[in-house]
Amino acid sequence: MSFSIGFDEVKSKAQILNAIPLDILDVEHLHYKDKCTFDNFVEKYKITDHAIATLALIVRAADTDRH
């Protein structure tokens, strides 16, 4: 089964759920320069946990192929 929804539907549903939409056009959190969405999210919310920093390396490598 295929499931597809549009960007506008994601944004409106996120607003209803008080959620943060990621990785779609015209939202705050997405890839920027050499950073992946996860990097931007961690930076914005000033998350300094060592485990999250380690996870960010893994996510960045998987998401951008930059190890």
Profile the chain (67 residues) by mean pLDDT over runs of 10 residues.
72 92 80 82 93 94 79
Instruction: Please answer whether residues 7 and 25 qualify as being in contact, where contact means their C-beta atoms are separated by less than 8 angstroms.
Output: yes
Model's pTM, two decimal places? Answer: 0.67
Two structure tokens written together for 43: 């930076």
Output the CA–CA distances (angstroms, integers) from residue 63 to 16, 37, 41, 49, 59, in the order listed.
28, 9, 14, 20, 6
Q: Tell me, what's the pLDDT at 1?
A: 53
Which positions ≥6 away from 13 have C-beta within 8 Å?
5, 19
Predicted pLDDT of residue 2: 56
pLDDT, residue 15, reads: 92
The pLDDT value recorded for residue 64 is 83
Q: How far is CA 25 from the centre of its chain?
A: 12
